[in-house]
Structure formats: C-alpha cells, structure tokens
Structure 1
Amino acid sequence: MFSIKRRFVLSAGAAIAAASLMSLPAMAQTTTIKISHQFPGGTMEQGDFRDRLTRMFAAEVEKRTKGSLKFEIYPGSSLMKTNAQFSAMRKGALDMSLVPLSYAGGEVPETNIGLMPGLVTSYEQGAKWKDAEVGKELSRILNEKGVVIVSWIWQAGGMASRGKPIVEPTDAKGLKVRGGSREMDMILKEAGSAVVTLPSNEIYAGMQTGAMDAALTSSTSLISFRLEEVSKALTTGRGKSYWFMLEPLMMSKAAFDRLSKDQQAAVMAVGAEMEAFALKAAKADDVQVANVYQKAGAQVVDLNDATVKRWQDIARTTAWKDFAGKNENCSKLLKLAEKTL
C-alpha cells in the first residue's frame, strides 16, 4: 500500500514538473541562430564592417532576449557556398545571411532590383527605400518567397582594373568585366564588354589569372578582398556612383516565425539600429578604398554627374527595360523605385 501511494505521489510530481516546464514562456528557452556570409571574419571592433555588423547584431539581440537567442556566425562562406545562401533561407535550411540581394536574381527575378545600374545614385536616395512604397513592396515579395529583411544596407561601389581606369562607357569596350548582377552585366555588354559572372569573393583569383580585366564591386569588398594587389587603377564610388547595391541582413521566414513575439521584436529593433552603423561604415570605406589603392600605387579617379548620367541613360534602355518586362512585380517595383529618383 505504501509503495503504491509513493509511486502515485512521484508520478504526480513528475507530471506537475513537466507541465511547469511546458508552460514556461518561449523567451526562457534557448534558440541558436546561424548567420552565414561570404566576407572575411573579424571581431566587433576590427575587420570587414559586414562581419562586424553581424557580430554586433548577435551580441545585442542575445542581450535583449536575456540569452534566449544565441548566435553562431560563419564568415567566408564557411557554412555553405555563397550562391546557396538565399535559397537555403527560403527553404528554412539557413537561419540568417548578409548577402547581396541580387545574387538571388536567377531564383527570384525581383531581387535584381537590388543592384540595378543607375536606379540608386546616392545613400540618401537608397535610405528612402525602406519606408517608401518600393521598400514595402519588395518586403512583401520577399516575405512571400520565405525571407525577411532585418537590416537595410546599401553600399556604393567602384571598379578595379588591371589596366586603365574605366570611367566612361567607352572605356569598357573590349574588356572582360564583372558587373555583379544580370542587369549590371547588360549595360557592360552594351558598352562593348565581355561579362564575367562570379561572386565577389572569387574576383581576386579571376583578376590575378587574367580571366577578367576589371570588376565592379562594393568599396568594402574592394578593400576586404585585397584587390589592390591585382589592380593598376580604381574608379571610386565616393560622392557619385551608378553602382549601388542593396546587401541586407536577412532571416528565413521559417526561422523568424518560430520565434516568440518578443524575440521577433528584438531581432527587428536591433536590425533597424544596425542601419546607422552600416551607413557610416559604408561611407567611410568609400573614402578609405581610395587611400588603400593610392598607397598601392594604383591610379585613382572619381565619377561626376555627367558620367553617371551617361551610364544611367544606357541602363534605362537596356537593364531597366528588360527588368520591367520580366513580370508584373518587376514592372511595379521599377515604377515605385523611380519615384525616389
């Protein structure tokens, strides 16, 4: 009799304990989020600002969620290949990534608007997108595709060259050039270039071997991937550029939806706060890249309004027209983006 009563008490106690654990709020449970990106790893204080941003973001979200969210960061495409990241987020196989949006253009045509030549020509204009109609529509489309934008990050870019500076469209004729997106490649083709398609972390090898003569990429990548070692000239993106890239910190919607409301709020709040850091760092790199290349002995030149307009005029009749004809979403996005010009 005693044994039966004792077993009953123990069983009841175990059931109560289990019920108590199940009733704990989601914030009390620990979830580990993996963040992947293609850029060199560093620390919160030093290195490529995009890697620093992911580390700062992770530390602050962990703090605000009292440790219920923890993060593992995989720089240098160490978790998965660069071009696989967006697709993996859509499928829920990757939690987060900071990746050029246009890299997903083959899978989701609408994302090519993130590197549309001449559509964004200043940081101030790019900053308008998030709260403008174009940003809301792009967010809606990405949500439907299974991805959430956490931080809106814009970067100006320039062109490193193994030979002469490439400033005017005529300068690109006959050269093998990496543009960075399908649409950027279109204006290069119109200018007479042979285009080379590969992610930014593979540019160094391409230029070193002569597989390409020049490459357009962000100021930060021009520095982080040490392209000054294989370049004799640089056309900068400081001040003016027809190459502005949307490179957001994104999260798989499947991973986002698994979080509690408080965790979601922390992720989005910290993501928004990181945008000021990204803007300041991107602008600083636009200046720093010129110093790095000058020190390496490269010829450094800047763009002016007239030159940017000549590239933009080519873009209107080639890349913009082609993009608008892709589907109804693309057409609508382009019209909304033009409102910010």
Structure 2
Amino acid sequence: MTSMKRRALLGALASSPLFTFPAFAQSSTNLKISHQFPGGTITEGDFRDRLTRMFAQEVEKRTNGALKFSIYPGSSLMKTNAQFSAMRKGALDLSLVPISYSGGEMPEVNIGLMPGLITSYEQGYKFKDAEVGRAFDDMLKAKGIQMVSWIWQAGGMASRTKPIIEPEDARGLKVRGGSREMDMILKEAGAAVVSVPSNEIYAAMQTGAMDAALTSSTSLISFRLEEVSKALTTGRGKSYWFMLEPLMMSKAVFDKLPKDQQNAIMTVGAELEAFARKSAQEDDNRVAEVYQKAGAKVADLNEATVKKWQDIARRTAWRDYAAKNENCNKLMHLAEKLV
C-alpha cells in the first residue's frame, strides 16, 4: 500500500462515527508536603497535619487527579529548619512551617513572630489583605516562596517551675521564645534564651536544659509538654505571642503548573484559613483543660500584662527589626498600622 493510500484509509477511518482513537490515561503530578508535627488522619490529630491532608484531598479532587500529594509529618522527609530553604531552591514542593524559623536566612520573615505586634486573631487575619501583607507576599515571591494558606496561632508559656506571666517572672530562667525578636524581649526581662524548634522542646525541658517555652497552643498539646510542665500561661483571650505558620509552596514548582492547577491550589488554600483559625482558637481553650488535668497551674494574661510585654518589644525587638534592612523597615512601618 502506498503512503498516499495509507493516509486516505486512516482519514476515512478517523471520520467514521464508529471509529475512536485509543484513550490515554492522564498523567498526574505527585507533590510532597513536609511538616514537623505529629501525623494523624484527616479527621483526628494536630490540626496542622489535618489541614495538609484536607488540602491534598480537595486539590486532587478539583484537578481530577492531575495533582496528587504525599505528606511527610514529624520532619520525616527532612529536618525542620531545612524546609524553607529547600522550597526556595525547588527541592521541596510544599511545607507548613513557622515562618520565623527562617529568620537567619531571611530576616524579613521574623515579622511573622514579632512580640506584641499581633495580639488577636482579628489583627492576624487582617494582615494578609492589608498593605503589609501584600508587601510581604510580594517579597516572598521574589525570594522563591508562594504563600498558600495564611495561618495565625496564639501561643502560651509552659514552665517546669512557676507560671511566667509578668516580664519579671522570666528573670533567671532558661526560656525558648521561637524567634530572634521574641528572644530579645525575654533577654530584656532577664531570661537566658534557648533556641530549638518546637518538636525538640520536650527533650530540652525533660533534661532541664530549658525551664520554659513559648509555643503555639496546638504544639503545647501535640508535643505533650504537660508531661514535663508544672505551670501554663495560656494564649486564650490575650497574648503577646502570635505566630504566622503558613502552608507555603516552592514558587519554582508552582510556576511550572498549568493555570487551572495553580488556581485550585490557591483557592483551596484560602478556603482552609477559616478551618485553621477555628481550630487554633479551639486549641487555645483546650490546652488549659489538658494542663489542668495533668495537675499544672494554669494562668491567663490580661490586657495590662500584654501591654508590658508590648512596651518592651517596641523599644527592643521592633526597633532592631526595622534597622535590619530597607525591607524590614518598610514592613514594620506598615505592620504598625494594624496595632
């Protein structure tokens, strides 16, 4: 059969209503999500792990399976402090991690755990759409990070000894703050600071290397710190410790995806912010119950006490951060409009 006859026959078959070309299965892309928190299920466990599973399930559904996800809890894929840098390089797809952990690499991100800057969930969830949030988002994109879900959490102080409420209560103790700026106000209050990620607090308190630790209410529960604590100062109602712990994605990986898949990721990420806020606030209350049941003394902060810590922050951490570079100065100026 000549090539002309062969093409004519194929053309006739293709135009026949009884003829169909074989269907090819759509290939899918598998993305990895890493975080430091205990693993669970989509309905049980640390809400941050649950959020990653809800995100994965919903994005897979909306992309008809074109995007699939593997979740690695408990820093099982890579060490906690390596995740941010790995995303910037395109070596990790997504991570849910306290953004202030990367302050050594990028000082601008420490605004995400700036003492006394955010003192309520209302303020925190205005951040994203305010001028400061837009500037922060643009800066992160330029550095290789795509914000997906903006998650804010209040925090409290677990202590092996006594409740740490007023600044003077921290004097002489070894305390974990969670960011350079938080450590600055602790030092000003007379404490010695210890720097470890939240998944290493238990061991440090158990051995006595640390007397007390500031961390989110959810981490106070998930890492079972009530087992090594005699006192808790909660973040319910009032707190000078609010942390931005977002779900983030490598911009290099995000940019390679088709537009419809990018839209699915960003839409689902934004929708899950309501779940994150509700869950964090529930944990602010639940943590008090957990610690009381374990026999710890539980205390809360009032507005006057928060203002004392905030005043220390203004003259130390806020000023130091703004002096870091032009970006930090701009972000601090814009953020103060939310205070």
**TM-score, length-normalised on structure 1?**
0.93
The answer for the alignment partner of 2:184 in structure 1 is 186
> What secondary structure sits across from 1:149 in the alignment?
strand
The answer for the alignment partner of 1:50 in structure 2 is 48
Residues in 2 aligned to 1:135 and 1:280: alpha-carbon distance in whole angstroms: 21
Root mean square deviation, CA, Å:
1.8
The answer for the alignment partner of 2:164 in structure 1 is 166
The answer for the alignment partner of 1:205 in structure 2 is 203
> What secondary structure sits across from 2:338 in the alignment?
coil
Q: For each residue in 1:267-290, what CA deviation from the matched residue of structure 2 results, as whole angstroms up to 9, or x when unmatched? A: 000000000000000000000000
The answer for the alignment partner of 2:142 in structure 1 is 144
Residues in 1 aligned to 2:47 and 2:297: alpha-carbon distance in whole angstroms: 25
The answer for the alignment partner of 1:101 in structure 2 is 99
> What secondary structure sits across from 1:339 in the alignment?
helix
Residues in 2 aligned to 1:33 and 1:255: alpha-carbon distance in whole angstroms: 9
Residues in 1 aligned to 2:167 and 2:128: alpha-carbon distance in whole angstroms: 31
The answer for the alignment partner of 1:276 in structure 2 is 274
Q: For each residue in 1:21-62, what CA deviation from the matched residue of structure 2 results, as whole angstroms up to 9, or x when unmatched? A: 9xx9xx943111100000000001000000000000000000
- Aligned AA for 1:184? M
> What secondary structure sits across from 1:239 in the alignment?
coil
The answer for the alignment partner of 2:64 in structure 1 is 66
Q: Which structure 2 residues correspond to residues 1-341 of structure 1 after superposition, within 5 A?
A: 28-341=26-339
Runs of 4+ in 1 over 4 A off after TM superposition: none
> What secondary structure sits across from 2:249 in the alignment?
strand
- Aligned AA for 1:272? A
Q: For each residue in 1:56-113, what CA deviation from the matched residue of structure 2 results, as whole angstroms up to 9, or x when unmatched? A: 0000000000000000000000000000000000000000000001001000000000
- Aligned AA for 2:298? V
Residues in 2 aligned to 1:144 and 1:199: alpha-carbon distance in whole angstroms: 26
Residues in 1 aligned to 2:96 and 2:253: alpha-carbon distance in whole angstroms: 15
Percent identity between the two aligned chains: 76
Residues in 2 aligned to 1:101 and 1:86: alpha-carbon distance in whole angstroms: 8
- Aligned AA for 2:166? E
> What secondary structure sits across from 1:177 in the alignment?
strand
Unaligned runs of 5+ residues in structure 2 are 15-20
Residues in 1 aligned to 2:181 and 2:61: alpha-carbon distance in whole angstroms: 41
- Aligned AA for 1:198? V
Q: For each residue in 1:191-247, what CA deviation from the matched residue of structure 2 results, as whole angstroms up to 9, or x when unmatched? A: 000000010000000000000000000000000000000000000000000000000
| Count, aligned residues | 326
Residues in 2 aligned to 1:187 and 1:28: alpha-carbon distance in whole angstroms: 54
Q: For each residue in 1:3-23, what CA deviation from the matched residue of structure 2 results, as whole angstroms up to 9, or x when unmatched? A: x859x87xx99xx9xxxx9xx
